[in-house]
Amino acid sequence: MTLSANSIPTRAEIPVEYTWDLSQIFADVPAWEQERSAVEARAQELAALQGTLAQGPAQLLAALTLRDEVAQRLHALYVYALHRKDSDGTDPVGQGLAERAGSFAARIQAVLAFIEPEILTIPAETLDEWLAATPGLQVYRYALEKLNRQRAHIRSAEVEQVMAALSDIVRAPYATFSMLTDADLQFPTIEDEQGQPVKLSHARYGRLLESHDRRVRRDAFKGYYSAFLPFRNTLATTLGAAIRSHVIEARLRNYGSALEAALAPNEIPVEVYHNLIATVEANLPRFHRYLTVRRRLMGLDDLHFYDLYVQPVPDVEMTIPYREACDLMREAFRPLGPEYGAALDQMFTRRWIDVYENVGKRSGAYSGGSYGTPPYILLNYQDRLRDVFTLAHELGHSLHSYFTRATQPFVYGEYTIFVAEVASTLNEALLTHYMLQSGADEALRRRLLAQQIEEIRGTIFRQTMFAAFELWMHEQAERGQPLTADALSQHYRELVVRYHGPELVIDDELAYEWLRIPHFYYQFYVYQYATGLSAALALSRQIINEGQPAVERYLRFLRSGSSRSSIDLLRDAGVDMTSPAPIQAAMDTFAELVSQLEQLAP
């Protein structure tokens, strides 16, 4: 299918074979309505079990089994409504379903909320006895043991009630940040490449930094930060309050630090975080060398931050129709074996992918579905090279979900954020390797190498710098030091200088980049981008070099969901994230790619 560059088709104008088939979840809206009523009734049956879980193993098993049934059916209701709305936001039926599904899900989740606190009232020794004596509970062993490990960090009922009552206040700093930066900031207008006025926005800022006109990039950079700077004291106050709330909650829950409190629920040792920062910082000279290579490739006398998001090599004009992209995926992922290939074919042939843009469709791309439904993908495919890599990325997510849900019971049918980007970025690495090995000309090779280098720069080096800043902020708060705008800006500038070295000109605005990063409110989140890509690069290299043994380990990982800790699952796959080795391997790969790009410099 070829789309017009001048008009966006309506949903009805998209050939049906390029749309996802949501009837594989529910035949129609009346079927959705019928299921909603049935789930409501089952949720009320579950609510009636409140207060009975400690009476014996049979009662506990009944509650857990019913909880999983209700949650699985609820997820399907929500996914159907969300996907229908996302495929055509102009459809009032889809809009209405999504609104109703959201409120219904919130109400049912409230019904489910009693289960874990009630389980924690059962003595640990009693739970162990029940697990040993009740075969039906065995499937929940890991989940119950994981919950059990949180006992030391659960406070009295009275304290828990107070903390729950304060939750909205604890979220207020981020809510204030979001309101200020999304609604109240007034951005200036600059001139685009043709001299036409363009009012800056968050989305336009990113696009303008990719402009090949350096004047446009500079004006966008300086104009964008000019909107934030008057609010630096306000945003220092909101960020400082968020950081202090993390520290206070960690202390209330008897953790040694805010870092430990953030990592413990997913059983991630704190050395994983420290290893990441230490290993990346030990390899910063390699990053500094890349910045020198990038400046030379761009023909610049000096390098500024606003030069880091434009392609350092000429773009390659390629038109890759969707069906050709599917064939490319089949070849690129052939090393993963016939079972993966068969699942891939299902993605392409069973209408699990919504391919093209239409009026009212959500922008971007994502992997969707839920346990018991197809692992749908939403795309806005436009025949570009970047669209091919987006398809590879989302296929990684969806096939991870496919293998997990086909193998695991519902309770382990999802995977943690720590491993979520492994399968997606591994697919991108395999696709890059295949295209580089398949007779790409020099221009395409330069483009592919630059693209992978930039992914490592943005995902490992940049996110690790963020992680280091986040750690410093929490440690300052734990020592009782103030997080003023001046203190935050001074330390952030020091990090930018350390990470980027002498090659980057440090514009004054860079010291204030922390003002605009929402992830700093998320409590030790961004490091997982860096560890995920590092694991993916290591696993992809094993698959390419070792063949079948590495493939078998990787498929076992895809099937495992959350049935064990993320660290254990990755270790079994062949990557020990408690060791610096995977991070160092990613740094070695980065250096090799930079050398290859330098050799191909025109």
Positions marked catalytic:
394
202 sits in which H/E element:
helix 202-208
Residue 27 class from Cβ within 10 Å (0-12 exposed, 13-18 middle, 19+ buried)? exposed
Helices vs. strands in the chain: H and E counts, helices first:
27, 7
Beta-carbon contacts of 334 under 8 Å, excluding residues fewer than 6 positions away, are: 341
505 sits in which H/E element:
strand 504-505
Rg (CA), the chain: 25
Tokens of 299: 């023909």
Q: What are phi and psi of 198, to 5 degrees?
A: -135, 120
Nearest to 274 by CA among 472, 538, 439, 552: 472
Q: Report how far apart, in Å, the C-alpha atoms of 120 and of each of 112, 151, 192 are.
A: 15, 7, 60
Relative to beta strand 189-191, strand 197-199 is: antiparallel
Nearest to 425 by CA among 450, 401, 452: 452
Distance CA 346, CA 338 (A): 12
66 sits in which H/E element:
helix 57-87
Tokens of 510: 């860079």
Nearest to 66 by CA among 78, 54, 58, 56: 58
Distance CA 178, CA 181 (A): 5
C-beta contacts of 273-278 below 8 A and 24+ residues apart: 273/467, 273/471, 273/524, 273/527, 275/578, 275/579, 275/580, 275/583, 276/464, 276/467, 276/527, 276/530, 276/531, 276/534, 276/583, 277/464, 277/467, 277/468, 277/471, 278/580
